[in-house]
Amino acid sequence: MSGFLRKIFKNEEPQENNKKTPDVISGTLPVHIAIIMDGNGRWAKRRGLPRTAGHRAGMESLKRVIKSCTKWGIKYLTVYAFSTENWKRPQDEIDGLMNLLVEYITKELNEMHQNGVRVRAIGNIEALAQKARQSLEKAEKTTANNDKIYLQIAINYGGRNEIVNMVKSVLDDASQGIINGECIDEKLIAQYLYTSGIPDPDLLIRPSGELRLSNFLLWQSAYAELVFDNILWPDYCEQDLYRAICSFQKRSRRFGAVAD
């Protein structure tokens, strides 16, 4: 491939070859990394390609990032794949995204399983089309006993929607006498969220230059370290993730207390 073409289709080339990232990262690692996979549309537009081509290229970035996280011993990775607000997009883009999800799972499930990835979908999964739902269920079932890395795919996910659902479930259980009002605390609320049992993200990354959360993990990100990056998601590679982790390692996490 010529240098020019390589530049255009950057993510068709193996990223690791020309990047200097260590196999082992010393120091405190984030236990849980959350990523807003953003910028696919702009990546495609810059190349005169349909938006779906950007989403397809974004899938390759996801593969790379899962690999890097597994290699470095990150225990939890949550990726934002489709928000409750993304239904506002043109129907053909939505269909393209759902088809890509099914394609991704069909193609990657075996390898993810072999690599010890445990997949879990978070969001309003019941509202998805049957094919997408079945794919996610299959991925969850196949990988249920894996424990190398826990991959949460946020799909039809919205932080506010999650909180509304949590309130409904809490009220429901209270009316049935399963819980009483006095035992409602932060720990209990966390148990009623999609992410029940998963530690909060330590590091939340948003590529593409946008400086907002767009309804992602609103409760869980209360004390996440934020890293914003100008790179578009399809161009995101191991070195970018490494930089984000290095930035995380330089932060003083005080959680409201005073530094040592």
Q: Where does this chain bind ligand IPE (CB under 6 A)?
A: 36-42, 80-83, 86, 97, 208, 210, 212, 214
Give residue 158's identity as a one-letter amino acid code: G
Q: Is 38 one of the annotated active-site residues of the chain?
A: yes
Rounded (5°) CA angle 52-76-66: 45
36 binds, among ligand IPE, Mg ion, none (CB under 5 to 8 A by kind): ligand IPE
- Closest chain position to ligand IPE (CB): 41
Q: What are residue 117's DSSP bridge partners?
A: 149
3-state secondary structure of 222: helix
- Nearest CA to 193 among 220, 225, 230? 220
Stretch that binds Mg ion, among 33-41, 98-106, 170-178, 187-195 (CB under 5 A): 33-41
Does residue 229 touch Mg ion according to CB under 5 A?
no
User: Among residues 37, 38, 112, 128, which is the contact residue for Mg ion, using CB under 5 A?
Assistant: 38
Distance (Å, whole) CA 253 – CA 30: 12
Binding residues for Mg ion, total number by CB under 5 A = 1
Catalytic residue among 86, 99, 124, 146: 86
Which residue lies nearer to Mg ion by CB, 36 or 203? 36
Which residue lies nearer to Mg ion by CB, 38 or 162? 38
Distance (Å, whole) CA 85 – CA 72: 33
Give 27-68 as a 3 state SS string.
CCCCCEEEEECCCHHHHHHHCCCCHHHHHHHHHHHHHHHHHH
Distance (Å, whole) CA 247 – CA 260: 20
77 binds, among ligand IPE, Mg ion, none (CB under 5 to 8 A by kind): none
Catalytic residue among 11, 23, 38, 115: 38
Which residue lies nearer to ligand IPE by CB, 133 or 206? 206
Q: What is the total residue count of the chain?
A: 260
Which residue lies nearer to Mg ion by CB, 38 or 108? 38
Q: Which residues are catalytic?
A: 38, 86
* Contact set with Mg ion (CB under 5 A): 38
